[in-house]
Amino acid sequence: MRGQRVGVVGPLTGPRAAYGEWLRKAVQGSSLPLIWADDAADPVVAVAAARRLLAGGAGVVIGHFNSECARSAGALYQAAGVPLLLPAATAPDLCRTVGAFRLCASELQQVITIVDYLAQVYTQVEEFWSDGSPYGERLASALQQRLLPMTLQGASQSVCALMGSHVAVAAEIRRRARPGTVYLVPDDCVVEEFGELLAGTGAITLCPHATPDFGDCARMALRFVAAAVEEGCAVREYLDAHADFDQGQYRHAGYIMKWHEYSIFPGHDKGRHHHAT
């Protein structure tokens, strides 16, 4: 793809713009020729963004933090023979259905990490809630299927599982107004804005953090593209042959679990971390 541009796309505007800012910072300083597009975390907008990137000469695309955006736009990239590298879209099927390469871990791995952790610390889930989005519904359903058959003898505490976008989850925690309650929240809530939205709530969250994180995944995607260009190899051929990928999935991606306590006094939040093994 020497001479072609690298498309970078994500939610640069709208309620998920905090992730777009994360993406901007992650790729800042790249020497590759970049072309930007905004998908606003909306699958319809994502299709229009994909068309703009393809018309603008993108030979590879990095982004679409939202899985449904990646699914809608990915079909266009696949038809055009343009590889899509995902730094944050976690729906399990994307590598297969749109031929994408994923740098972060999938939702399946997220659910497995959560369930293993809860079993280790003898914690029960007393409620499953979703914001109604495909992402929230997939996670809530997968967690229920794996956790409901489990009986944790002598469970020391219980948590409420709130699945969905970081904005929706924060709004639900504020609506409930239950200081001291432990909420199990998804990886979408790792973004800094989530903490700002919970300031003063007194809530406690248990959240899977992607390793590498989404910013590192974006930077890593750029490094893989640069390496392919340096070798004079097509990006898809380069990644298909790369030992760090298995059927489009980066082998070394995973999650660690972290707790965070939010003070009832804004500006006095403190973190308390436990890592899953």
pLDDT score, position 271: 47
Q: Are 61 and 83 in contact (CB under 8 A)?
A: yes
Strands 34-38 and 245-246, bridge-based pairing: unpaired
Give residue limits of the domains in the chain.
Answer: 5-104+213-242, 107-211+255-275
The residues facing 245 across adjacent strands are 250
Decide whether 5-104+213-242 matches 107-211+255-275 in CATH topology.
Answer: yes
d(C-alpha 256, C-alpha 276), whole Å: 5
pLDDT lower than 50: segments of the chain:
271-277
Homologous superfamily in CATH for domain 107-211+255-275: Response regulator (3.40.50.2300)
pLDDT score, position 2: 53
d(C-alpha 135, C-alpha 157), whole Å: 26
Q: Tell me the CATH architecture of domain 5-104+213-242.
A: 3-Layer(aba) Sandwich (3.40)
Q: Are 101 and 84 in contact (CB under 8 A)?
A: yes
| Sheet strands (E) in the chain | 5-10, 34-38, 58-63, 84-86, 101-102, 123-130, 157-163, 182-184, 204-211, 245-246, 249-250, 254-261, 270-271
| Crossing angle between the packed helical segments 134-147 and 107-120, to the nearest 10 degrees | 40
Residue-wise pLDDT for 24-45, tens only, equals 999 999 999 999 999 999 999 9
3-state helix, strand, coil in the chain (%, to 5): 40, 20, 35
pLDDT score, position 189: 97
d(C-alpha 102, C-alpha 235), whole Å: 13
pLDDT score, position 84: 98
